[in-house]
Amino acid sequence: MARIVVLDADFCKPGECSRECIRFCPIVRTGSEAIKYESGMDRPVVAENLCTGCGICVKKCPFGAMNIVNLPDELEELCVHRYGPNTFKLYRLPIPKDGVVVGLLGPNGAGKSTSLKILSGEMIPNLGLYDCPPDWKSILRFFRGSELQEYFKKLSEKKLRVVTKPQYIDQAPKRLTGTVRELLTRIDERHALDEVSSYLSLEPVMGKDIHDLSGGELQRVAIAAVSIRKADVYIFDEPSSYLDVYQRMAMAKLVQSLANERKYVLVAEHDLAVLDYISEQVCLFYGKPGVYGIVSKPHGVRMGINIYLNGYIPDENIRFRAVPIRFHFSPVPTEWRSEDVMLAWRPFRVSRGDFLLEAKGGKIHRGEVVGIVGPNGTGKTTFVRVIAGELSPEDGTSVNFGLRISYKPQYVVPSKMKTLREILNSIDPALLSSQWFMDEIYCPLEIEPLLDRNMGSMSGGELQRVAVAVCLSKDSEIYLLDEPTAHLDVEHRLVVARTIRRATEKKGAASFVVEHDIVANDLLSDAVMVFSGSPGKNGIASEPVGLRKGMNNFLKNVGITFRRDPETGRPRVNKRDSWLDRYQKEIGEYYYTEVAGEEKQ
């Protein structure tokens, strides 16, 4: 049995504890240095060959910094990379294929970005030998007989040119100056700027300075910057972040066009509908985030995503999730009574500079979740802020009628001086002892490791989970959540969707949720508000309508159709101009139809 011991430097604080992990280790007491700490080290070092896996040090660590995991000895032969002693370990790698878009699917911290750095040549795999890294000859011998041998041979001989769209794009403007047009023209090696600009609707931002772009605009510029370069390998790490559904579909078509030119294309993506549409094959990542990650063999995209939702890989006989994730095949509209109405509003108009939002009248019921969908820049956040009382309609009337409101904004600004525990105690000192809170929010959102972390030190995904937890913890009648799944991996997206729905029902409250992920929307929404208009100029907000009717209206504007997967019930995008796509457009059923057309795609 192979043993992995990981000690997280972000959590380990040797100066703030008596190093109980060392004091209570039974092996250390015999005189062996199973756990060693010397002055100047940022954390103790655990000798994995001496560790017996008793788990005492894990329980005694006051900061939850230690993890011990036992894995089969056979898996050690497949170790591709390790960063250092007691750090994350990666087993196997995705297999790039020319002319095929290969998708990477798995939780954050399971090795997707590490794999992409290795396949891009940014990082050389050390095969677990971090203290004496192997040379390329040894690496090629390790991959002998696999498809990766030829890939790494070309990479080592510098016969592959790789361009990468990084996961975090907010750092890019700090190193660049000039307008979007100037920057893209400078790197237009394929002379495809006009074509790519048309795909991504970049013309309106071409004259903008790179430092004045919003998150969605910056994402599209980053995708364009990769697509217009001449390369053999194109890598996109989370390309759909900040994009609306229209832009996600356009991005997917652009990425597919690169694969059609017989290039290697790798995409790490958390939106299941986009991943399904963009990829032909997927490699699954599983393991314990931050401790170890294992890469599965390639699967066809439909089978691969279904395997991920089922949590069981048949060809490896591995179960990594206890309960499969399922979707409702035919959600039945709820019959609301007049006394269930929580909030009703008349039609109103809101002006913000040159932008005008016109909202139709509507109502939301007790226990109801209303999803808000539409293009970026059409007033979704403006509408939510009106409900929250932060903005007033032109006639000056209030919309929320004095209801208790809990609002999670689109962009979460962390408080650097506070921990999550302090924030929760300020809401209700008894919250952390509440069984309802523990069952419905604390455990599902996995916020225990974040309780005593400073908010300013959290990642985007951690901050998002904390913001959702804080919002739902308040005793309110209306919950407003603006893009609650941004920065989250697939697992946490689905958990957040279910948590919002359960909290809304059990508290007898009502929720408005702005969300671009169609799969998450399908899980959490009872009804949908569709926003339309001219982005940045005007927006029109419909009244809330049933999920199927609302999504049907929305997808008709987008020009795409969805079907239901017969095994899991998840929404799947139909291939453009496939038989089922043409049929559903003909009968006007854009969201899904009862016809089993899986085999006719």
Q: What is the pLDDT of residues 376-419, one digit of tens each?
A: 888 899 999 989 888 888 876 667 677 899 999 887 777 666 78
First to last CA, the chain: 45
Instruction: State how far the Cα of 335 lies from the Cα of 322, in Å rounded to an integer.
Output: 34
Sign (positive/negative) of CA torsion 466, 373, 217, 536?
negative
Q: Set out the domains of the chain in order of their start, with CATH numbers.
A: 2-71 (3.30.70.20), 79-319 (3.40.50.300), 338-547 (3.40.50.300), 559-601 (no CATH)
* 418-422, long-range: CB < 8 A, 24+ apart: 418/454, 418/455, 419/451, 419/452, 419/453, 419/454, 419/455, 420/447, 420/450, 420/451, 420/452, 420/453, 420/455, 420/466, 420/469, 420/470, 421/451, 421/452
Instruction: State how far the Cα of 236 lies from the Cα of 13, in Å rounded to an integer.
Output: 35
Cα 406 from chain centroid? 23
Closest listed residue to residue 385, CA positions, set 373, 402, 399, 375: 399
- pLDDT on residue 595: 44
Cβ neighbours for 309, distance < 8 A, ≥ 6 positions apart: 324, 325, 326, 568, 570
Q: What is the pLDDT of residues 208-239, one digit of tens each?
A: 888 888 778 888 999 999 999 999 999 999 89
- Exposed, middle or buried by CB within 10 Å (0-12, 13-18, 19+), for 53? middle
Residue with tokens 């993506």: 269
Q: What is the pLDDT of residues 71-114, one digit of tens each?
A: 887 888 899 999 988 889 999 999 999 999 999 999 888 999 99
Query: Is residue 547 over pLDDT 80?
Result: yes
- Asked if 470 and 407 touch (Cβ cutoff 8 Å), the reply is no
Q: What is the pLDDT of residues 363-381, one digit of tens each?
A: 999 999 999 998 888 889 9
Inter-helix orientation angle 245-259/193-200, to 10°: 150
Q: What is the pLDDT of residues 167-193, one digit of tens each?
A: 777 666 667 778 889 899 999 999 999
H/E element, 23: helix 20-23
3-state DSSP assignment of residue 342: strand
Instruction: State how far the Cα of 122 lies from the Cα of 270, in Å rounded to an integer.
Output: 23
- pLDDT on residue 171: 65
Query: Is residue 514 over pLDDT 70?
Result: yes
Query: Is residue 601 over pLDDT 50?
Result: no
Inter-helix orientation angle 245-259/215-227, to 10°: 10
Query: Is residue 287 over pLDDT 70?
Result: yes
Mean pLDDT of 256-267: 90
Q: How confident is the model at residue 599 (pLDDT cuts 50, 70, 90)?
A: very low
Cα 292 from chain centroid? 19
Instruction: State how far the Cα of 522 lies from the Cα of 390, in Å rounded to an integer.
Output: 28
Mean pLDDT of 298-304: 93
pTM of the full structure:
0.86
Inter-helix orientation angle 460-473/490-507, to 10°: 10
Average pLDDT, the chain: 86
Spell 81-111 as b/e; 16+ CB within 10 A means b: bbeeebbbbbbbbbbbbeebbbbbbbbbbbb
Q: How confident is the model at residue 598 (pLDDT cuts 50, 70, 90)?
A: very low
Q: How confident is the model at residue 499 (pLDDT cuts 50, 70, 90)?
A: very high
Instruction: State how far the Cα of 273 lies from the Cα of 519, in Å rounded to an integer.
Output: 7
Q: What is the pLDDT of residues 7-59, one digit of tens each?
A: 877 777 777 787 788 888 888 888 788 888 877 777 888 888 888 888 888 88
